[in-house]
Chain A
Amino acid sequence: MHLPTREQSGVLIVSVSGRIDHIASEEFTKALDPLLANCVPGQPPLLLDFSGVEYISSAGLRVLMIASRRAKGQRGVFAIAALQPLVQEVFAISRFNLIMPCYVSLDAACKVLGA
């Protein structure tokens, strides 16, 4: 899985796209690994741009939970932004909206995280 990155207002934005189902989850974990290794104090906050994600399964959500937990353990900043409406619903139904920092848009996230 290729995860293009760019920096905006001091935030490292990672574009995620497509379907993150139980099979793609394994690749998603691998692709996130080097980015998470750098998600530490003194490095830019890591923000996943989810605008290109059409579907995420339980296995994909679990990868996010583990990533978030790892970042927190390293005292790094990790968040998600710009969920498509249906993906947003999946977050709410699974209660992931309660355990993951989610922002409505990249701009909203950068305003909070980039400062």
Chain B
Amino acid sequence: MKKVCFWGTRGSLPVSLTARDVREKIISALTAANGKSFKTPAALNEFVATLPFSTTGTFGGNSSCVEIINGGAEHFICDMGSGARPLGQAKIATYGVPNPQTYHIFISHLHWDHLMGFPYFAPMYIPGNRIVIHGCHARLEEAIRLQMRSPCFPVDYSQAGARIEFDLMTPDKAHYIAGINVTPKLQLHAGDSYGYRFESIERTVVYSTDCEHQLDDLVEREACVKFFAGADLVIFDAMYSLAEAVSVKADWGHSSNVVGVELCQAAGARRLALFHHEPAHDDIQLNRLLAETRRLEQITRGDQPALEVISAYDGLTVTL
């Protein structure tokens, strides 16, 4: 495994920047410029690079879809949220048609925000492609078919040109798939969700979203620490603040940045990516959350090596 590319990082429901959001970004940039003039495009670029990400960029609004780039012939994808649409387009642009590809898709669970992009994943309409949908839910195929049926969707599932296979995986067991060992783990979430640990010879990535951590369950804590152990990257559901996760939003099936840091520290993970962002949070709030999470890591680190904390955004590519 070489890289991880985030195509959709938003939780629960896709969102988009509004006209007002864009206007606020422009105002922040112009306020920071404070009347400066820039003689060359390079000077302008240099200035823009000094602005915060919440001014120059956006975390984006597509729902969960993450690609693990292995460098091999077969593609690895976690979840089919709305981020699957730009991912599919990028694949068509790169490989062209016809140029049959194999896509391995790992589904965390059957909630709509993790499946809704599948009907827009262009490679599924192209004959010759092979799509293997891996998951642990007995009703995986049923759920995928359900959303591509009248009156919910104009194109029926039977119109798929690609060969679609389903692979029902066994939790806690390593499955060897195209050069990568993939181990699913059951997580606490309405209707169950599964995290996936991907291990190649040189790298380990853990995808763990839509998971609530019960803080008084020490047995489950140990199991999580083992699941994250030594990972180069842990993609973690940090949708709520800790206070929300244990009070008003207890039992809603999500976790916090604080628990992400604690588990990654205990597991000796190298990098933590905050993921499944709350749709109500704007870029300024998400940026602040990242800064606070980095500070928390710093003040709780002790003698351990530093854990790098990032916040995933649509379009981010991380080199492992």
Interface, chain A (partner B; CB < 8 A): 22-23, 25-26, 55, 57-59, 61-62, 65, 69, 86, 89-90, 92-96, 98-99
**In the docked arrangement, what's the CA distance between A58 and B245, Å?**
10
Q: Binary interface profile of B, 227-250, with partner A (CB < 8 Å = 1, else 0)?
A: 000000000000001111011000
Q: A55-B300, A58-B246, A62-B215 are in contact. List 15 more A-B contacts (CB 8 A).
A: A23-B218, A57-B262, A58-B262, A59-B215, A61-B242, A62-B216, A89-B296, A90-B300, A92-B292, A93-B257, A93-B258, A93-B292, A94-B242, A95-B243, A98-B243
Q: How far is the CB of B172 from chain A (nearest CB, A)?
A: 22
**Which of the residues B221, B243, B296 comes within 8 Å of A65, measured between beta carbons?**
B243
**In the docked arrangement, what's the CA distance between A73 and B243, Å?**
18
Which label, helix, strand, loop or mixed, suits the secondary structure of the A interface?
Answer: helix
Provide 15 A-B residue pairs closer than 8 Å at the C-beta atoms, listed in order of the A residue. A25-B215, A58-B258, A62-B215, A62-B216, A65-B243, A86-B299, A89-B295, A89-B296, A93-B293, A93-B295, A93-B296, A94-B243, A95-B242, A95-B243, A96-B243
Q: Which residue of A lies closest to B222 (CB)?
A: A22
**In the docked arrangement, what's the CA distance between A59 and B243, Å?**
11
**Which of the residues B216, B218, B241, B299 comes within 8 Å of A94, measured between beta carbons?**
B241
Q: Which residue of B lies closest to A94 (CB)?
A: B242
Contacts of A69 in B (CB 8 A): 247
**In the docked arrangement, what's the CA distance between A49 and B137, Å?**
48
The 10 closest A-B pairs by CB, nearest first: A94-B242, A95-B243, A95-B241, A59-B215, A93-B292, A62-B215, A62-B246, A99-B243, A94-B258, A93-B296
In this complex, the member of A55, A58, A61 whose beta carbon has the largest number of chain B beta carbons within 10 angstroms is: A58
Using known A-B contacts A65-B246, A94-B241, A96-B242, determine if residue A58 contacts B256 with beta carbons closer than 8 Å: yes
Are the C-beta atoms of A89 and B242 separated by less than 8 Å?
no
**In the docked arrangement, what's the CA distance between A90 and B261, Å?**
12
Are the C-beta atoms of B259 and A58 separated by less than 8 Å?
yes
**In the docked arrangement, what's the CA distance between A99 and B242, Å?**
11
Q: Binary interface profile of B, 278-305, with partner A (CB < 8 Å = 1, else 0)?
A: 0000000000000011011001100000
Which label, helix, strand, loop or mixed, suits the secondary structure of the B interface?
Answer: helix
Using known A-B contacts A58-B259, A58-B262, A89-B295, determine if residue A95 contacts B246 with beta carbons closer than 8 Å: no
Interface residues of B in 47-74 (CB under 8 A from A): none
Q: Which residue of A lies closest to B293 (CB)?
A: A93
Q: Which residue of B lies closest to A21 (CB)?
A: B262
**In the docked arrangement, what's the CA distance between A61 and B242, Å?**
9
Using known A-B contacts A22-B218, A94-B241, A94-B258, determine if residue A61 contacts B299 with beta carbons closer than 8 Å: no
Contacts of B295 in A (CB 8 A): 89, 93
Are the C-beta atoms of B241 and A26 separated by less than 8 Å?
no
**In the docked arrangement, what's the CA distance between A41 and B299, Å?**
39
Contacts of B259 in A (CB 8 A): 58
**In the docked arrangement, what's the CA distance between A90 and B293, Å?**
10
**Which of the residues B218, B246, B293, B296 comes within 8 Å of A61, measured between beta carbons?**
B246
**In the docked arrangement, what's the CA distance between A68 and B121, Å?**
48
Contacts of B243 in A (CB 8 A): 61, 65, 94-96, 98-99
Q: Which residue of A lies closest to B221 (CB)?
A: A22
Contacts of A26 in B (CB 8 A): 216, 218
Are the C-beta atoms of B256 and A65 separated by less than 8 Å?
no
**In the docked arrangement, what's the CA distance between A41 and B318, Å?**
56
**In the docked arrangement, what's the CA distance between A62 and B218, Å?**
14
Contacts of B216 in A (CB 8 A): 25-26, 59, 62
**In the docked arrangement, what's the CA distance between A14 and B197, Å?**
44
